[in-house]
Amino acid sequence: MSSTHPIDPSFLRLPLRRLADAALQRARDFGVQHADFRLERIRTQDLTLRDGQLQGAIDGEELGFAVRVILDGTWGFASSVNLTSDAAVRAAEEAVNVAQVAKAINTETIELAPEPVYAEATWVSAYDVDPWTVPVADKIALLTEWSHRLLAADVVAHASVSLAQVFENKFYADLAGTTTTQQRVRLKPAIEAHGSDTESGRFDSMGSIAPPVGRGWEFLTGTGWDWDAELAEMPALLAEKLVAPSIEPGPYDLVIDPSNLWLTIHESIGHATELDRALGYEANYAGTSFATVDKLGTLKYGSAALRVTGDRTVEHGLATVGYDDEGVAGQQWDIVDDGVLVGYQLDRRMAMMQGLERSNGCAFADSPGHIPIQRMANVSIKPADDDTSTADLIGRVERGLFVVGDKSWSIDMQRYNFQFTGQRFFRIEDGELKGQVRDAAYQATTTDFWGSMEAVGGPDTWVLGGAFNCGKAQPGQVAPVSHGCPSALLRDITILNTATESGR
């Protein structure tokens, strides 16, 4: 589903088709097997407050275009910020020249899986209020009010509030005849209260668990999140955390809230099922993957409760698009079904290499100056088919922990051995919550962890979390991505005491 907003007229007034026609025609003159043109405008605004005082207000804009070709089975790429037909022609010639030079060291013939042609396609992400229509003074006033609400509590010594906003326009055209024009809006709010306990000397923080979203300004005023309720409870949660007892390490049953579990999905499933990692093409930046292609269809990734999809279509997803940066339409597909690895995330080149009929639309470049690479879709766990609640899952635990909110993490270069902390750990005794503990981290291997998942919550527990800053590639690129999941019950997970471990 996309919104009813039109494409920004100021973007449409740019010479999109004139530059595309000039670049693609020049590439055709050289007899290329493929050529595509991509023009992007990315507008950003970042607001940062400390203790209710504005620390920074930064507006940014990136505008340019890129030409990518395949000549004699070899990639070529060039980009420019000069929006003239002459510059478009030069970029096409430079891309061709890159391919001609690179052919001597190319060991593989580059071919792309076929994709239907989409002529004059338009797509806009789902949002109500364009953040760029809201006066900056009004935005600062809201963030200031949030800060003062927190600072009014005795336990809160400092409050940090920030808001990152992105308005992205993208035009794509290729020699096959596809032309797409797209518009995406996304927001990342962040709130953190800081305090200390005089008796113990502890200093700690309590953060919001609100996710970054593919929504507009309406998210900041209550659509999709109850800010009043969260701001009201954060000081009490911080006060409890400051005096909470340190965790006794050992095996525990865990009920994990989506606000924490999304990150574990991201690192141990999302990255591990990128096909370029599984094939070894992506290795330098954060490693490859244990989930290699010889295990497709047989690897027990987790229990039968684990059902994972790749999705470029889910409403408000940060990686949701109408079409990717290779002109492939957004799709949803299975990655893990009944606990078994059944699919990967891939682009047109990887699809062709594996003999697949088409890509599932995972090509993305984070700027007009970067070549598209295979990037993560919204990788999500399906909820149970019944109405199991988080309270139901907690009620099934005699001795365990309820984990809420993400914090730090660590995972090896094969996406297999990992450790995650959280914002809040609550003791569970005989099916009831008994207050917070601190200094906890859960540790496991990917398959052991997901294999221990006994049950998940129903649709009412499902939340779409995510990140603005997923890193990959060299030169590095950053991509936004969401991960939806329900609450989950996992048995016998190793819990470490981080204070003890750090002292070793």
**Higher pLDDT among residues 282 and 210, named by residue:** 210
**CA-closest candidate to residue 407, choices 452, 374, 439:** 439
Kindly state the tokens that stand for 265: 């999905």
Torsion of CA 225, 377, 457, 465, to 10 degrees: -30
End-to-end CA distance of the chain: 52
Six-digit token string for 134: 């809201």
**What is d(CA 51, CA 156) in angstroms, rounded to the nearest whole number?**
10
Q: Report pLDDT digits (tens) over 235-255.
A: 999 999 999 999 999 999 999
pLDDT of 2 > 60? The answer is no
pLDDT tens for each residue of 38-86: 999 999 999 999 999 999 999 999 999 999 999 999 999 999 999 999 9
Instruction: State the average pLDDT over residues 373-382.
Output: 98
Average pLDDT (464-481) is 95
pLDDT band at 119 (very low <50, low <70, confident <90, very high): very high
- DSSP assignment, residue 464? E
Q: Provide the β-strand partners of residue 255.
A: 402, 489
Give residue 284's pLDDT band: very low, low, confident or very high (50, 70, 90): confident
Closest CA to 485 of 260, 300, 189: 260
Q: What integer pLDDT is reported at residue 245 of this predicted model?
A: 97
- Which pLDDT tens digit goes with each residue over 184-235? 999 999 999 999 999 988 999 999 999 999 999 999 999 999 999 999 999 9
| Homologous superfamily (CATH) for 9-242 | PmbA/TldD superfamily (3.30.2290.10)
Taking residue 373's Cβ as centre, other Cβ atoms within 10 Å add up to 20
> Is residue 118 pLDDT above 50, yes or no?
yes
Q: What residues does 225 pair with on adjacent strands?
A: none
| Residue 8 burial by Cβ neighbours in a 10 Å radius (0-12, 13-18, 19+) | middle
- The CATH 3.30.2290.10 domain(s) of the chain lie at 9-242
In this predicted model, what pLDDT tens digit does every residue of 417-456 receive, in sequence order? Answer: 999 999 999 999 999 999 999 999 999 999 999 999 999 9
pLDDT value of residue 502: 74
- For residue 285, pLDDT over 90 is answered with no
Give 401's strand partners: 254, 427
Mean of pLDDT over the chain: 97
Identify any residues that bridge with 92 across adjacent strands, giving them in sequence order.
none
Q: What is the DSSP letter of 382?
A: P
Please identify which residue in the block is written with the tokens 């048995």: 491
Pair type for strands 250-256 and 203-207: unpaired
Percent of the chain with pLDDT strictly greater than 70: 99
Distance, in Å, from the CA atom of 460 to the CA atom of 65, rounded to the nearest integer, reads: 43
User: Is 263's pLDDT higher than 70?
Assistant: yes
Closest CA to 348 of 34, 87, 88, 105: 34
pLDDT confidence tier of residue 1, bands split at 50, 70 and 90: very low
Q: Which of 370, 381, 401 is nearest to 461 (CA)?
A: 381
Report d(CA 176, CA 259) in Å as an integer. Answer: 42
Whose tokens are 């949030």? That residue is 146
pTM above 0.95, yes or no: yes
